[in-house]
Amino acid sequence: MSDQDFRFQGKAFVFGDSVNTDAIIHANFLSVSDEKILAAHCMAGISPDFPSRVGKGDILVTGSNFGCGSSREQAPMAIKGCGIACIVAKSCSRLFYRNAINIGLPILECGNIGIFNPGDKLEVDLSTGVINNVTSGKKEQGTVLPDFLLDIMTVGGLMEKLKKGA
């Protein structure tokens, strides 16, 4: 496991507080498990053109209580399917947090997301919790993930870790 596995760089997509799982992916898609199909409808409740604007490796920045609402694994799957490499949230629902970790979508909590603007180039280092806003030159300290969660991220999620017997 190298530190490189925990570094992400991409354009910021910024959303506000209390983005619920219904806004991330509509309940009509709860029977879908294909990330590509889910990705095509990601954030349709608040930003219908989101999937067409996201590039592989971009970073989702969100306010408080991200992923609130019902517990649905499809919400982080849709985000990951769009190409988002990492989520930086002021805070998020515990169920959403675990679902994201379980599917291998890194999520980092950071108390001050106010320095991040849409389109900013960000660098995130999960191993240190540092989020660098390359555009503005400002940095913020997020919560450092414990080693066992970093291990899960390295292999692509909890199921992959269990398959490997590690």
**What's the average pLDDT block by block, 10 residues per block, for the chain (166 residues)?**
72 97 93 94 95 97 95 93 97 94 94 96 96 97 91 84 77
- How many angstroms separate the CA atoms of 144 and 81, rounded? 24
Taken in order 5, 38, 64, 149, the sign of the CA dihedral is negative
Domain boundaries, given as residue ranges, for the chain? 3-164
User: What's the pLDDT score for residue 162?
Assistant: 84
**CATH for 3-164 (3.40.50.1950, 3.50.50.60, 3.20.19.10, 3.10.20.580):** 3.20.19.10
- How many angstroms separate the CA atoms of 154 and 161, rounded? 9
User: What's the pLDDT score for residue 166?
Assistant: 59
11 strand-pairing partners: 121
Element spanning 36, H or E? helix 35-39
User: What's the pLDDT score for residue 161?
Assistant: 82
User: What's the pLDDT score for residue 1?
Assistant: 40
User: What's the pLDDT score for residue 2?
Assistant: 46
